[in-house]
Amino acid sequence: MSAQAIILLLGLIVDWFVGDPVWLWKSIPHPVAIFGKAIAFLEKHLNREKDDPAVAFRKGAVVISVLIIAAIVTGLTLDWLISFLGVFGRLVEVTTVWILIAQKSLFDHVRDIAIGLRQNGLGGGRKAVALIVGRDPDLLDQSGVSRAGIESLAENFCDGVVAPAFWYLVFGLPGLLAYKMINTADSMIAYKNQRYLHFGRATAGIDDLANWLPARFSALLLSMGGLIQFGPKAGLLAITTAMRDSGLHRSPNAGWPEGAMAGACGFALGGPRIYRHETVSQAFINGAGRLDLGAADIAMALKVYAYACYCFWGVVIICYFVL
């Protein structure tokens, strides 16, 4: 596990400074895109409108089980191949970690929302936020656009950074690939609408389990980011808000990092929202916080996020010496 900690640290650092190699994905498909095609293929051929709820649930459970097993087998195969490649194999493993963790791409996407608002007004912000959230951007005002970006930043700190890194540290490449498969499937077939309600229920439950511990750890890291950025009071408010208001979120996990970000920055996050597949009624997290948000507030949240990432690197270093 100490070797995995070093590889993880290198992957995190490379990702932070280099980001996603978009030029590469113009020539070959991204691994997550391959996962997505496999999920879409199975869903298209197995999810039938005529199926009763029990049958749809069983089919969905079989699909996600097969996908997870395929991801684990792929990870084990990669591990086996890497074992013959020496130093080059370790470089392959660092590269795999780098491309499957999304620190910089998440930072850049959310920063683009702030840039869009500053340079092109509400239209620019809506265009940028539509790339990373599922809600209808045309129904969002400036505060709604900013809130959507900040919420995505907080939630995806768990989904795109902490959780995949955690499962890699515990189970190596099989754990990393299995988590990415679960999380990709959750984003595609776990909506609570007529088509996916029963078929995607097993996937949603597995994703909740996979993110349970990483979400709470993400809240702690964001609280540390708030402490560094704004001082001890903000750090304390971040963790207490996460503990108090996380249950207001419809997800058992997303409310933790969102609550920490809301408390650290003094924002009210959450609230009612309209997605492509559903309308969600939800109370505001940190309801006493500020509702009128803009580009400067996105920049503030990005600073907290950056410090949280640095703190995470420190935790990985500690893991190397302890484990």
Domains identified in the chain, total number = 1
* Domain of 152, in residue numbers: 2-322
- For the residues 252-281, what does the mean pLDDT come to? 87
List, in order, residues 6 or more apart from 270 with CB less than 8 Å away.
151, 248, 249, 255, 258, 262, 282, 283, 284, 285
Q: Higher model confidence: residue 192 or residue 129?
A: 129
- pLDDT per position as a tens digit, 21-57: 888 888 888 999 999 999 999 999 999 989 999 999 9
H, E, C per residue of 269-288 = EECCEEECCCEECCCEECCC
Q: What pLDDT shows up at residue 309?
A: 98
Q: Which of 284, 296, 289, 275 is nearest to 140 (CA)?
A: 275
Other C-beta atoms closer than 10 Å to the C-beta of 8 total 28
The number of beta carbons lying within 10 Å of the beta carbon of residue 49 is 7
What's the confidence (pLDDT) of residue 277?
Answer: 59
* pLDDT tens sequence across 158-193: 999 999 999 999 999 999 999 999 999 999 999 888
* pLDDT over 70 at 226, yes or no: yes
Write out pLDDT tens, residues 192-219: 888 899 999 999 999 999 999 999 999 9
Q: What is the DSSP string of 75-137?
A: HHHHHHHHTTSHHHHHHHHHHHHHHH--HHHHHHHHHHHHHHHHHHHHHHHHHHHTTT--B-G
User: How many CA within 13 A on the CB side of residue 84?
Assistant: 4
Q: pTM (2 decimals)? A: 0.94
Residue 279 has pLDDT above 70, yes or no: no
